[in-house]
Structure 1
Amino acid sequence: MSEYHVPVLLDASVDGLELKPGGIYVDVTFGGGGHSRKILEKLEGGKLLAFDQDEDARRNLIDDERLIFVQHNFRFLKNFLRYHGIEKVDGILADLGVSSHEFDEAERGFSFRFEGKLDMRMNQTAEKNASSIVNEYEEKGLIRIFRTYGEVKNARRLASLLVDARGQEPINTIAQFLKVIEPCVPTKIEKKYLAQVFQALRIEVNREMDVLKDFLETIPEVLGPGGRFVAITYHSLEDRMVKNFVKSGKVEGTIEKDLYGNYEVPMKAVNRKPIVPDENEINENPRARSAKLRIAERI
């Protein structure tokens, strides 16, 4: 049986938090618990809140009284900190993207490598899935998704094929989907193209960009002075948002001024360039190839 999730940049990300022995920390993407276990190993007392909306993550819960598991989306970070009587935390870690488990479970529908339902929900109780998007969105909506979230160059043709095909029968499985779009998949870059298409659908299903924006703009409110924010990103859209947030406090990258004309920036970058995995880690865990680690400190 394969490991539920192989954490990327494990040591670098946890070291980036500069853990205080009795501090309060948040792992907003618990998954297989790899980062959380590493944090708890280094804490002496303290507290760790771990978020994950995926029911499957519960099987990895750690028997430690310092751990508080929150089975909800991390966009509600502030609400649940308040619920647990916590005003400020000392560090926040976010390993963004999809877990190895979600990619490797055929029935979850995240990967074009397997046959299964066209699903892609991180929260398995959510109503909208990839199939409902493919079958119900207007053509211009599909074009927007594939262009914006997948940077698919022939998004118009792709959307047109889907709209024509669904008029004959609903597209509910990965096999159906792949068959329909086959005419517009470039042979030389087939895997890259399919990865872009599936990424676009997954982001729309889970509203990943909206969630990330809400989460990032909450951080200055809940992270105490000198506290660390550590983020691991896997594609350019989320990395751009994190980079802009660290630079300006806004995901759009705009820097605001106070009444005296001074720039107001809540965070400062700890590493000027993102930390990336070495070849050894990439060979052991191919998912790490696109990973970038950014570390910021609350001013």
Structure 2
Amino acid sequence: MSATRAPAHVSVLPAETLALLDPREGQTWVDCTVGGGGHTRMLAERVGPTGRVIGLDQDPTMLEMARARLEGSPVELVHANFDQLGEVLAARGIKQIDGVFADLGFSSDQLGEKSRGLSFREDGPLDMRLDPTAGATAADMVNTMSEAGLADTFWEFGEERHSRRVAKRIVERRGHQPFATTADLASVVRSCVPRSGSIDPATRVFQALRIAVNDELGVLDRLLALLPRVVKGGGAAGIISFHSLEDRRVKQTFREPTAWQQVTKKPVEAGDEETARNPRARSAKLRVARRIGA
């Protein structure tokens, strides 16, 4: 992926996010998931030159793509995952911030890049790491994890009803030919998972592997646990999730009455006009809460 071209990704729920978070001039905000920089730029425009936005992303390529888009804005970009927010703030002498935002979805630029192996629609190496500089790949996991471990992963993170059957077939196949590409894995999954409507049979297994490779739910849990400490009283937190495993965690956290006042009792979802323009917005759910306290 070229870091010099403009990001292709379109931010979801932009107007709703800005209205509910309500960032003000001179405030300090963190965008935990810079991606293409769309939401980051909106926050920066609201806080203005007297404010500050710290933008985190675990993908260094996305940071470079967003840099040009954010040039001239009061934004500092940092290569870090969002469960490292506490360390990032401490390194800058910041104890608390006025607000935090995270879009847990994937950039169109990431999904469209074959070398990442995030999608079964394009054949590429079975990688799936969002930070290509660290950690084990999906191929490592598929080729070394026990059959029971694979089945548990597919069920827990993908809610795949045929998890045991898929795990058994994978272990049988890898014994004489290790998995190396997304097309290779997808074909094996499709051979043992019946199609249901228009959903590709490989969808849930690929979701589960991606979540496991990037420890997505663990990272989210650690961020949610950290937020009450770093968001000042009256400050806001907003999170856009894209599947029930994420949304359930956000909902439970924002329902904690000693820490948060819910701004959105139910998640905000994209309307027909936005989903027609940006189909990936269909599964987006935005929840916002305000920190209780002086």
Q: TM-score range by the shorter chain?
A: over 0.9
3-state DSSP of counterpart to 1:193:
coil
Q: CA RMSD in A?
A: 1.4
Contact 2:189–2:201 (Cα < 8 Å) also in 1: no
Distance 2:96 2:72 in 1: 21
Distance 2:252 2:190 in 1: 37
Partner of 1:52: 57
Distance 1:289 1:273 in 2: 16
**What whole-Å deviation, never above 9, does each CA across 1:162-220 have from its counterpart, x for those lacking one?**
00000011101012112222321323346343221111000000000110000110000
3-state DSSP of counterpart to 2:89:
helix
Q: In the comparison of the two structures, how many residue pairs are matched?
A: 284
Partner of 2:271: 278
Contact 1:75–1:214 (Cα < 8 Å) also in 2: yes
Distance 1:182 1:210 in 2: 28
**What whole-Å deviation, never above 9, does each CA across 1:18-39 have from its counterpart, x for those lacking one?**
1120000000000000001111
Runs of 4+ deviating beyond 6 Å: none
TM-score, with structure 2 as normaliser: 0.93
Contact 1:90–1:227 (Cα < 8 Å) also in 2: yes
TM-score, with structure 1 as normaliser: 0.92
Superposition map of 1:184-199 within 5 A: 184-189=192-197, 191-199=199-207
Superposition map of 1:194-213 within 5 A: 194-213=202-221
Partner of 1:8: 12
Equivalent position amino acid for 2:57 in 1: D
**Closer/same/farther in 2, CA of residues 274 and 210 from structure 1, 3 Å limit:** same
Distance 1:197 1:124 in 2: 21
Partner of 2:282: 289
Contact 1:92–1:230 (Cα < 8 Å) also in 2: yes
**Closer/same/farther in 2, CA of residues 268 and 193 from structure 1, 3 Å limit:** farther
State the identity as a percent. Answer: 40
Distance 2:101 2:254 in 1: 14
Distance 2:286 2:157 in 1: 21
**How far did residue 127 of structure 1 move?**
2.8
Partner of 1:182: 190
Distance 2:47 2:151 in 1: 48
Equivalent position amino acid for 1:125 in 2: T
Partner of 2:45: 41
Partner of 1:111: 119
3-state DSSP of counterpart to 2:205:
helix
Contact 2:55–2:76 (Cα < 8 Å) also in 1: yes
Contact 1:152–1:193 (Cα < 8 Å) also in 2: no
Superposition map of 1:200-279 within 5 A: 200-248=208-256, 265-279=258-272
In the alignment, structure 2 segments of 5+ residues that lack a partner are none
Distance 1:166 1:192 in 2: 22
Equivalent position amino acid for 1:170 in 2: P
**How far did residue 65 of structure 1 move?**
5.6
Equivalent position amino acid for 1:173 in 2: T
3-state DSSP of counterpart to 1:188:
coil
In the alignment, structure 1 segments of 5+ residues that lack a partner are 249-263
Distance 1:13 1:37 in 2: 12
Residue of 61, 64, 71 corresponding to 2:79: 71
